[in-house]
A and B are shown apart, each in its own frame.
Chain A
């Protein structure tokens, strides 16, 4: 049995083309982790700059072609970014920053016109639910007047999470997605948002009014996305705060960051909030990329990102590979069976994500898969959830398998500090 498992590992390693490293030190593993982070964010920046160029071209010369090119650039930009999401949980610097670029879900009525029959006119929790910045040069939100006559990056930053409402998402990928696709009004039927390029046209060709202001919003959101990604890329470069943080000390904080990121994304976030919830509610509003119907890809690349950090290998957007000693090697040195098991489970979740991609390529997207009565589609999504939950159980076992010397036990308040008990 043990031999079979070892052979299984070898076969998997061979299949994936991953070089196995024998029992690396924690610092080596963490260096690879930081290198992959830097490459992932740099790729996100590169693709965001291409998106920015495409937006500029759309605004300069609105047409079906330039509009389509901007949408294609947005879809391409999601590929590397989603693979970095595994860095969010466990790294405070990323978690505190990421809301500017990937906050979700959003009350899109803050930004532009919406179909109120579906969306509603107001929300008890959000005074800016239908503020429509693009249509209104002056806004009154909770008694405060905001001058929105000029739409620029500063205004968007002011509006982001205004009134402490998290769903007031004014910046980032999903704000841009809404401006390129518009609301998906198809419910759980086929079809994504159907915004026309003429929403950016000049003169009489302009549809839904305020095309110049809509263009200004899109341009400012693109600029912010680039500047935000420049910042986070710097944090993972040599000497950057994020890299220094994971590399400092004896390796415990860094290894903890890796495991926390893998487990939290697998279980609570991707398996739970982004996938299981949609399935339970059969509600298209519960899909991550709900305007573009790109959720299948976002979920697949999230799962791939989890596998990347465990195996210590990332394929960049230019096809080059960043790789090095990995957590997998560290675990294998302590518990080869656990490493084999987790590699298998990570491969399973990636394949389950790929199955959703395949369905989408066949015309059945995530919002259709989660529809009430679509038992077959529901099962495809449930398989993805199950795989994520299953891999979390093995990720938890890494904690016990990876030993770190020289750490003191944490104290017990109830025994060490009796005054704190009552």
Chain B
């Protein structure tokens, strides 16, 4: 029961902040507000918008691809659609950990990808949908009002990658026609959602960058910047507890790849590689060709040894991730696969410790609650 340990994680974080709070003598002088503002402005105004553009473009390409396929289905063209799915999923997995503002407003991140399906709800709803094939679910506008589990990437993954569904799609039979129309509606809905995200982001970025006494939501830049720390911390917690911990189970006998994320498309570990890219951008300030190295949370750290040490540890984890196959299913099929997966989780856990103790403390942003506190 991995969930039982979450409160302890929270307790540790909170304790750390209590420890570094009013009573204890400060190790460092307070970080000036302008430094938090600069980080917020760089990450939210400069770094993120091009990535949201890229995400919206990928969703648009995916929509076009599936519509083209549905006009004249065949197995080879389905591979093209699957490739477009993977391209869109790659950029989404980089953006996913930036859980703040318009990305989480009204459950938008869950509408893009409802996962994990802890109670089996998505699987049950999907079964019922394919049984009854309601026409309303082929209309993007009506689909947008439906269950989050039926309108994002995991539902589209079931449509495109599940062997039985893929067979129906390629044949273009009665089930295939419904799946095509439903899949097109999901992709179109994703295109709409990513467009909304793109539109809403600048206002949020501006509000965060100009945080101060005049703002109701963000009375200080430091308070606003806690969202950055929370995203970095929670992103790693989710990788450890959900993306790795769930498939690992209690022991090797209990391990099950199907509990991993995107395992129908066999890309659970590929997702984590992209998650780590997006997470490191929060720390570093550079994301691919966008941004400036050292202009992220790292710029709040007045300790070059700590910064170098953190970067070194992060790179160790990246190297380990790049040496793993794209899916947990493939890794667990190897004789030492379980041990490798466990070791990888331990490395992520060590990063979490560093974030809590070093980054949280030094940036004076640590602590707080996260979505993993529940069952």
Q: Give A92 to B11 CA distance when docked, in angstroms.
A: 10
Q: Which of B302-345 contact A (CB under 8 A)?
A: 305-306, 309-310, 312-313, 316
- Supply 20 A–B pairs (Cβ within 8 Å), ascending by A: A89-B373, A92-B7, A105-B119, A252-B15, A252-B18, A260-B14, A273-B375, A280-B114, A283-B121, A283-B147, A286-B121, A372-B145, A392-B369, A396-B226, A399-B21, A400-B21, A404-B18, A412-B306, A413-B357, A421-B312
Q: Which of B50-100 contact A (CB under 8 A)?
A: none
Dominant SS among interface residues on chain A: helix
The answer to whether B114 and A414 have CB atoms under 8 Å apart is: no
Interface size on B, as a range, is 35 or more
Question: Do A164 and B250 form a contact, CB below 8 Å, given A260-B14, A280-B110?
Answer: yes
Q: Give A413 to B361 CA distance when docked, in angstroms.
A: 13
Taking the closest CB of chain A, its distance from the CB of B40, in whole angstroms, is: 17
Give the size of the chain A interface in residues (CB under 8 angstroms).
67
Residue of B nearest to A269 (CB): B374
- A19: CB under 8 A from chain B? no
- A276: CB under 8 A from chain B? yes
The answer to whether A260 and B23 have CB atoms under 8 Å apart is: no
- A185: CB under 8 A from chain B? no
Residue of A nearest to B1 (CB): A166
Q: Give A272 to B149 CA distance when docked, in angstroms.
A: 15
Given A264-B10, A270-B374, A396-B368, 14 additional A-B pairs, CB 8 A: A95-B4, A256-B15, A257-B11, A263-B368, A268-B373, A272-B374, A273-B375, A280-B149, A399-B18, A410-B19, A411-B357, A412-B354, A412-B357, A414-B306
Which of A164, A166, A274, A392 meets B374, CB within 8 Å? Answer: A274
Taking the closest CB of chain B, its distance from the CB of A114, in whole angstroms, is: 13
Taking the closest CB of chain B, its distance from the CB of A259, in whole angstroms, is: 6
Binding site for A on B (CB under 8 A): 1, 4, 6-8, 10-11, 14-24, 27, 107, 110-111, 114, 119-121, 124-125, 127, 145-149, 226, 250, 254, 258, 305-306, 309-310, 312-313, 316, 350, 353-354, 357-358, 361, 367-375
Q: Give A177 to B312 CA distance when docked, in angstroms.
A: 54
Question: Do A269 and B121 form a contact, CB below 8 Å, given A405-B23, A414-B313?
Answer: no
The answer to whether B369 and A412 have CB atoms under 8 Å apart is: no
**Interfacial chain B residues near A272, Cβ < 8 Å:** 371, 373-374
**Interfacial chain B residues near A404, Cβ < 8 Å:** 18-19, 21-24
**Interfacial chain B residues near A172, Cβ < 8 Å:** none
**Interfacial chain B residues near A364, Cβ < 8 Å:** none
- A373: CB under 8 A from chain B? yes
**Interfacial chain B residues near A270, Cβ < 8 Å:** 374
The answer to whether A399 and B367 have CB atoms under 8 Å apart is: yes
Q: Give A404 to B24 CA distance when docked, in angstroms.
A: 7
Taking the closest CB of chain A, its distance from the CB of B306, in whole angstroms, is: 6
Taking the closest CB of chain B, its distance from the CB of A173, in whole angstroms, is: 15
Q: Which of A400-422 contact B (CB under 8 A)?
A: 400-415, 418, 420-422
**Interfacial chain A residues near B306, Cβ < 8 Å:** 412, 414-415
Residue of A nearest to B146 (CB): A372
Q: Give A268 to B367 CA distance when docked, in angstroms.
A: 15
Q: Give A396 to B8 CA distance when docked, in angstroms.
A: 16
- A159: CB under 8 A from chain B? no
